[in-house]
Amino acid sequence: MKSQSRDDIWKELEIAQTLIARQESNRHQFRNWYVGILTALLIAFASKEITIEKNQFLILSGIITLIFYILEFGFGASEGRIINRSNELEEILRTNGEYDGPKIGLSLRPIGKRYLPKRSDIKFVRMTFTYLIMFLCSLIIYFVK
């Protein structure tokens, strides 16, 4: 492998790692927004000053949960494609294979079902668990009030 190609691989790998870190940060911020909005809705529902009907509360919390879950799933898919590309680059470095890049743009573009997290994937479980717990809290408050 040429030294120029090896340098290009390292540059692309560095960019990929930066993008992975940024996507992960975005997902955490996104989840924090979800928790904040749902908490505000829970407080508004529990307070006596703001009147929100029980059915309105349940529908709103369900819609908010679903929207944030779907959007975060999209962030996860994008991050997964970048991780796949990073793994390909590392494999090329280990085996002295042929460099086929740069492909950062292609790894960010949604291409069919190139990366959808599996149910056994820990990120999928962690992401789903967060939304499930928050929605269950909404249900408990719905039935208690």
pLDDT at 106: 55
Listed range (2-6, 51-55, 95-99, 106-110) with the worst mean pLDDT = 106-110
CA–CA gap between residue 56 and residue 111 (Å, rounded):
38
For 56-88, how does the pLDDT look when each residue is reduced to its tens digit (9 = 90+)? 888 999 999 888 888 877 777 777 778 877 888
- The contacts found for 7-15 with CB under 8 angstroms, 24 or more apart, are 8/99, 8/101, 8/102, 9/89, 9/92, 9/93, 9/99, 9/101, 10/93, 11/102, 12/89, 12/101, 12/102, 12/103, 12/104, 13/86, 13/89, 13/90, 13/93, 15/104
Q: Is the pLDDT of residue 140 over 70?
A: yes
What pTM did the predictor assign? 0.68
CA–CA gap between residue 52 and residue 92 (Å, rounded):
58
Which residue has 């959007």 as its token pair?
71
pLDDT at 19: 84
- Domain spans in the chain, listed from the N-terminal domain onward: 3-144
